[in-house]
Structure 1
């Protein structure tokens, strides 16, 4: 009897499981058997989907790698052509017999007509939108022909440019590089602006099926979207409304929506509703007591809940959607105070100093950015102690995996909408198109706990009020200026905030970056600021010490990649000069930027002896400049509550403001950022004859430690030494130690010493910093003898270095870029050793033969 009962239970469970399986939607990706051709020609070639025309042309050896040497110039014809992609597919019986069948394009770049079995089913015109097309009455069981026809974005948009009596100001659209003279057409296409060229990127105007294509089939109903609206969150409770969007074929009585914790099985919320044919929104409300909160990197665990939302009818589960999200309260505090108006992030009730960088797309050919590249990109931010990345408005709303990784590792995301440095003809059909773009992306991203702010655009507001564009166009024709401003206001001050209010109502919308007060450019007292007087304004790097902002959302300093990276795209010795044709092609800010690097280098350091030394020293220069800025911004806490340098990454191999080059190699700046962004920073700063030493802490509790201040001659002689007990105040910056410099020096010239500071907290954690009392070119860095000891470890070697005298910015390298140095560009105190782990697959003999170690004095 007992065995029969067990068998009966098993039969029932199998029947229920089979019923669920039959009822569940079927999803198939169309990623095989694609081919493509130049539309006006006859030859077909294999294609990769997702992909781009350019990468398919490279794979079929029709064009060469545009990133190599001067090849970008020879592929400018590609964006003037129309392209056709096609595939054939069959439907399984199970899928074909479903009541609902649709095609789902996650991303089509950009102007596109789609045909199924000869019938046009879509005209698309926005790279950033998703497209869902009902094909139930058009699809066949066998041999369906799907054609995707891409129109040249250049040919589509040039007539729009020609038709206007005036022309909109645009970002760095390199129309002349594209062979279309001054016709800056990028603003007409809802497409990544950087594809048209930027001052750090090539002009490669892509087309293609750039995100996956799916066929979806289902019966009765399906879950279209689930939104976890976090209405109130604190340590005691989280009040959550789960809004489930359900698409129903017909009126359905008593559909049950249940929200469950996938890990524990706890049922959090359930509700029953009658569905009507079409789209329905059903809300299940619940409260989690004492929730595990999501924290940013450095403040705590980035805990993620895994929820499952089920829709059942007559005890049968029809559809299920999994959602991984973190429970947190993020508020942007923008309010008047005695100095102006604040801008800072409050996470779970705690004011957070934002430490991070601006992020651009990791490649010009977006489908080439693999999961591994994304993981490294985000982990490199985490490992540099960042807690925020700003997704810049001239790129793209990133793939889901980018935000998944930010969620996982506690990186807050400043999310721009995709507009940068331009005014846009945003009215009529284009404004309606942008509305749907905003809805698609807000809905797609709003469950990510990392999303911390939505921002209208990059620099368009500041361009109008701060760069003189308003005056320029008003002078040309007041009516043109009036139209441009109305289009701007309708988009950024009306449409986008309305979309946020409707689709992500707990989120904060910021109209532009930078933005301070209405009707004026950014300033040092209100909102966020993009500060470029160091670099574009040619001010010395020490100016970072005195410039202030409530939130620095952009600032930066250029450098070339390291020599081993340069050799990847400029392999010939004739290329190895910053003014060579190849190096200039990979410097998109032009001779102006190269001259600036050289000018700054000679102002701050002594003259480098050769090209390789120039590359090394300009990385140290970039690192030193941004280190000064990061420390100054943190010292100015809480007046300043954020520092996001420009930029975290590159989209191709180039001289740029990045701290990591295109290949993922850390520049000196990234190593320096890791130190400057630690949870505790000890930061010396001098003025006149006074030395102040600040201790800045992100910790949420007070702690104590011992501060050591040493003045050391570069030959190792200790001039003075002081040790004091200090309080490390929580979540703020404090000037902890002040002294007269001449008392410390005791007659020793400033050019012969380094001020070494070391903070050891009561848990034994050590924080150090070295400070010079003069510019680097005026410091008498000695020639050094650096000894090295190498021992084999897992995945590589441990190199222990020791120098007889002070060695500034010690740089280690081996051939190629398939390696990683745990630390680099670091200072070595006289007769003190440093052990550095190096990932390398070389034999020990080859590693020892190739390992080069230099310091700053070797570059002179």
Structure 2
């Protein structure tokens, strides 16, 4: 039987630039090893990142020794298996070169049986500078444009290692996935490719197997699911076989909100006669998935259909959760996924400048019913299609498609992020002067690999993409769209001019939570323009765009605390405005994927969850607008109408009072509406003229449950100075904070992390009319006493009123 022996202990790291060997952790990377040894400062603090650029431009050697007294004697073959080397590596064993690698996104296998010694084997992995390699490829193939002045498109490595408009430039090297010895005899399973389908009430798994041989014996492949077993013979010398397993009355895997994500165990064994040789196990799920891209009167649809049910995608973009990816373990994924699910998310888009995530990522998504769209790893650049990259791209794609295809959560492969759009609109064509830029990958190589290996899933050439070269790739009426003019040049109300079929990227910035920023930046005083704050703002003119985004909504902030609150609130407002508008267009628009859920370090960015895992006000806004049932006021025919969107499996029937109310709480007009919204549907209800016509636009609002409509922007509203009564009731591990409004208070927010860095709160952005109350639960340690003024005043307790009345 195949035996895998990890080689994860005893490693050291050395380089000419450091004195002596340094203990190394495998899996890991150079930066985390140097940090653990106390040889470098934390790259995430202040501007330390800049002083550590030399690491990515240096060569490094990882070394370990091990004994192998039994492996060579007990197996026909012993392979060194390296699941992930980052990136340009030369592997030697006992002084003999095994091979050279240049792709972070592939695994490698070397036959080492003849080289093994009973004791004292020396294994070394020499890493060359990724910069040096990438620049060499650039010089050989010719320069090509990209979004950043870094050579990331010339090497098959995580592009965001080279910095992004939300991430640090920390170019890593190291053994970043498991490495070990695989001992086997006769034959082993080289690949297992389960193609899962549904036929009526039955589930079908067509298991395609390739084997690697050390002998020509006839073999048997056996596959089992839910007590159903089927076998096939692999004739002597043959290396391929297929087995079909049909499971009757199968339970389907459903996405979150549509049913249970039922899974089954699939086991595959390889044997020679009665002797088992190798085994493979995965969880699978039976479901169908397709894209509805039919033409209609409004353009071309883009609707994800799972098990015959159209799904409105409530998505977020996912980036690597840490610049040092080996620090992201299953618990970290679980924390982020819980935050996503609690915010109403049903879809994660794995963005093309990151990586193919670990098995834990997709397994958790499977178990939670989270849908996953996987970009192939190309982003924001023109990519050469010549060697040495062409064969690496194809091999990487084949390996990752086969690795990930057992996961039912994975519902779409996407060719690239913004590269087809870039070729059209980013002045690439003149700069390229006829050189390749990646089109052959996206329209030929990648779809060919997906269609041949993974026919159960759709492939889409790019994000954004209209569906045809004859239509502009970012035409909102066709396929998928990215909206970035709002952040870059337009007020967020410009979202309301769009009628996209599927919105795959859009976002608005804000700084991280105060405790996160304060941990990362030692500036004294802390200001929007202090050096550390600016270093942790990577977007071009990011702070300028934040300021322009406030214009017309809020006055210029008076100090840092007001700036921090105003920009976080404006981010939440912008995304609320956009998503409510896009969801109100259902079924014309059938998906929004917010940029972005998470950060990979402490930074001002578009995220809902910051680099220390804290939820920004945007997260609480997202929970509201991504709820299964959404009430929103939307402009229709020149007046606000009530739109009810029901993304649940049950009809939504209710009676609601809709009121026009003064800021003092006086009811000026009222109507009662009857909701009857079908499952997975929406209705628009016009409202009486007296309800939607204000006597005083600056001092009135419309309410319906928690939905509100103000008739003017904050700067033009006659807000009262916020006045509330606060009662703090401690309990073991936290406190309940009851807040009763004496005046109208809009977007009431308690910043628990300003009470204690460990503290969290269960709600934010609450609007109360005079006399109304809310109880917020704060959990955490080291909280101030209940009678402390901190609970009742800025910068802990904030409202939109503060920013205007101040």
- TM-score normalised over the length of structure 1: 0.89
Residues 573-588 of structure 1 mapped to structure 2, 5 A cutoff: 573-574=524-525, 576-588=526-538
> CA deviation digits over 1:32-77, x for unaligned, max 9?
1110011466511111111111111111122111110111111111
Partner residue, 2:523:
572
Change (3 A) 1:808 1:353: same
Match of 1:170 among 143, 146, 160: 146
Per-residue deviation, 1:800: 2.2
CA separation in 1, counterparts of 2:132 and 2:607?
33
Partner residue, 1:381:
340
CA separation in 2, counterparts of 1:118 and 1:160?
28
CA separation in 2, counterparts of 1:111 and 1:157?
10
More displaced stretch, 114-123 vs 679-688: 679-688
CA separation in 2, counterparts of 1:599 and 1:40?
45
> CA deviation digits over 1:573-604, x for unaligned, max 9?
23x111111111111114x1211101211321
Change (3 A) 1:297 1:848: farther
> CA deviation digits over 1:587-625, x for unaligned, max 9?
1114x1211101211321123232012111111100010
Partner residue, 1:81:
58
1:253 aligns with 2:218: yes
Q: Is the 8 A contact 2:219 2:236 kept in 1?
A: no
Partner residue, 1:34:
11
Change (3 A) 1:246 1:797: farther
Q: Equivalent residue of 1:198, what SS?
A: coil
1:845 aligns with 2:782: no
CA separation in 1, counterparts of 2:177 and 2:701?
53
1:134 aligns with 2:111: yes
Change (3 A) 1:256 1:543: closer
Partner residue, 2:29:
52
Gaps of 5+ in 2: none
Partner residue, 2:591:
642
Match of 1:200 among 129, 142, 166: 166
Partner residue, 1:355:
314
Gaps of 5+ in 1: 1-23, 174-183, 474-479, 759-767
CA separation in 2, counterparts of 1:776 and 1:413?
38
Change (3 A) 1:561 1:311: same
Partner residue, 2:487:
535
Partner residue, 2:762:
822
Residues 432-831 of structure 1 mapped to structure 2, 5 A cutoff: 432-470=391-429, 472-473=430-431, 480-484=432-436, 488-516=438-466, 517-519=468-470, 520-536=472-488, 538-574=489-525, 576-590=526-540, 592-686=541-635, 689-740=638-689, 743-744=690-691, 748-758=695-705, 768-793=706-731, 795-812=733-750, 813=752, 814-831=754-771
CA separation in 2, counterparts of 1:788 and 1:214?
60
CA separation in 2, counterparts of 1:625 and 1:197?
26
Q: Is the 8 A contact 2:659 2:667 kept in 1?
A: yes
Q: Equivalent residue of 2:218, what SS?
A: strand
Partner residue, 1:109:
86
Q: Is the 8 A contact 1:201 1:654 kept in 2?
A: yes
CA separation in 2, counterparts of 1:614 and 1:96?
69
Q: Equivalent residue of 1:155, what SS?
A: helix
Q: Is the 8 A contact 1:297 1:385 kept in 2?
A: no
CA separation in 2, counterparts of 1:747 and 1:674?
30
Change (3 A) 1:336 1:33: same
Runs of 4+ in 1 over 6 A off after TM superposition: none
CA separation in 1, counterparts of 2:18 and 2:492?
55
Q: Equivalent residue of 2:613, what SS?
A: coil
CA separation in 1, counterparts of 2:219 and 2:691?
80
CA separation in 2, counterparts of 1:736 and 1:798?
38
More displaced stretch, 637-646 vs 744-753: 744-753
Match of 2:203 among 222, 238, 243: 238
Residues 321-400 of structure 1 mapped to structure 2, 5 A cutoff: 321-400=280-359
Q: Is the 8 A contact 1:386 1:677 kept in 2?
A: yes
Change (3 A) 1:254 1:539: closer
> CA deviation digits over 1:546-577, x for unaligned, max 9?
21111000111111112222101113323x11
Q: Is the 8 A contact 1:233 1:329 kept in 2?
A: no
Per-residue deviation, 1:366: 0.9
The root-mean-square deviation of aligned C-alpha atoms, in Å, is 2.0
> CA deviation digits over 1:135-190, x for unaligned, max 9?
111122211101010001112232333455x52011224xxxxxxxxxx3221111
Per-residue deviation, 1:687: 5.3
- Count of residue correspondences: 796
Per-residue deviation, 1:492: 1.5
Q: Is the 8 A contact 1:256 1:313 kept in 2?
A: no
Per-residue deviation, 1:701: 4.2
Q: Equivalent residue of 2:450, what SS?
A: helix
Q: Equivalent residue of 2:114, what SS?
A: coil
CA separation in 1, counterparts of 2:288 and 2:205?
12
Change (3 A) 1:115 1:539: same
CA separation in 1, counterparts of 2:250 and 2:39?
56
Partner residue, 1:18:
none
Partner residue, 1:854:
798
More displaced stretch, 63-72 vs 268-277: 268-277
CA separation in 1, counterparts of 2:638 and 2:581?
19
- TM-score normalised over the length of structure 2: 0.95
CA separation in 2, counterparts of 1:220 and 1:699?
53
